[in-house]
Structure 1
């Protein structure tokens, strides 16, 4: 239960070093965008990579070559989806969410909040986190594509903020 044998521990350490090095290499080669600002699909790939790493480390039935192949295919598929989403509006709309206003023109957009499953208290918390003491200071609150909440403060006429690309 606490210890099987030194051979199993040695295998775990050796395979762990090589599997981890392979994962880091694949991620570096695939580019910075592979696991940046995660959306739902990025999260799924990240969890799958972690699960694959755990399986390689702990299962004698999975060879290092099989595990590295699994890393490779997951990262290639992620890269391919990112490639397609940049070039196709249809693919982009299927896998990426768009930012959405939650608060604008001094009013909460309750229909959007309900659809996006965001509570008023979460909007207020985001405002407080940005040093805002009153919603009267807020021009808009946006639920970003990555799930974060952005708070845009009201500005004077000379420094008007822009709210492009938000639905």
Structure 2
């Protein structure tokens, strides 16, 4: 029972020391790589963020992973993220591989049933997103878009009918 609560002072000091050093190392590497590394702009960005957190946790808790191994893992993940985002800005083919496209789920009061099924979004989820924007009626909404990072954007109708921002949305059924 004793080892369950406390193993040794050496183990405790190792965790604290590795934790401090790996945290500093991660912050420095993230600062060098730029803001985009943790932006969560799409699923690929989100996966890299999770992988960095998992690497940090493994470094802290596993005696089998050295600080140098962890630093190499951080550098690899951050470098791959940088390369992929650099390439995706310059190549539409890479961008289409890495990024999802926004999906139009509701347009001018009409639910886009096929797109909703493909994206696995229910009417209730769309209505909840509309209500969360303080809008009580679907007819006051120009569109609802499932964005590339997974959130629902509600575009309210304007008085003059202008102001719609649906440039990159793929309306399959309009």
TM-score, with normalisation over the residues of structure 1? 0.96
C-alpha RMSD over aligned residues: 1.2
Runs of 4+ in 1 over 4 A off after TM superposition: none
Q: 1:118 aligns with which of 115, 118, 121?
A: 121
Q: Which residue, 1, 21, 24 being the options, matches 1:21?
A: 24
The 1:53–1:162 alpha-carbon spacing in structure 2 relative to 1, beyond 3 Å, is closer
Give the match's secondary structure for 1:142: strand
Q: Mind listing any 5+ residue stretches in structure 2 that lack a counterpart?
A: none
1:143 counterpart (137, 142, 146): 146
Shift of 1:159: 4.5
Number of residue-to-residue matches in the alignment: 167
Distance apart, 1:37 and its partner CA? 3.0
Give the TM-score, by structure 2 length. 0.92
How far apart, CA to CA, are the structure 2 residues paired with 1:36 and 1:91? 18
> Displacement of 1:128 after TM fit?
0.3
Q: Deviations over 1:5-30 (max 9, x none)?
A: 10110011001000011011111110
Which residue, 81, 85, 92 being the options, matches 2:84?
Answer: 81
Q: Does 1:43 align with 2:46?
A: yes
Q: 1:44 to 1:36 in 2, by over 3 A?
A: same
Q: Give 5+ residue unaligned stretches, structure 1.
A: none
Q: Show CA shifts across 1:97-117 (max 9, x none).
A: 111110012200000000011
Name which of 57, 60, 71 aligns with 1:57: 60
Mapped contact 2:108–2:139 kept (Cα < 8 A): no
Q: Which moved more, 1:128-137 or 1:150-159?
A: 150-159
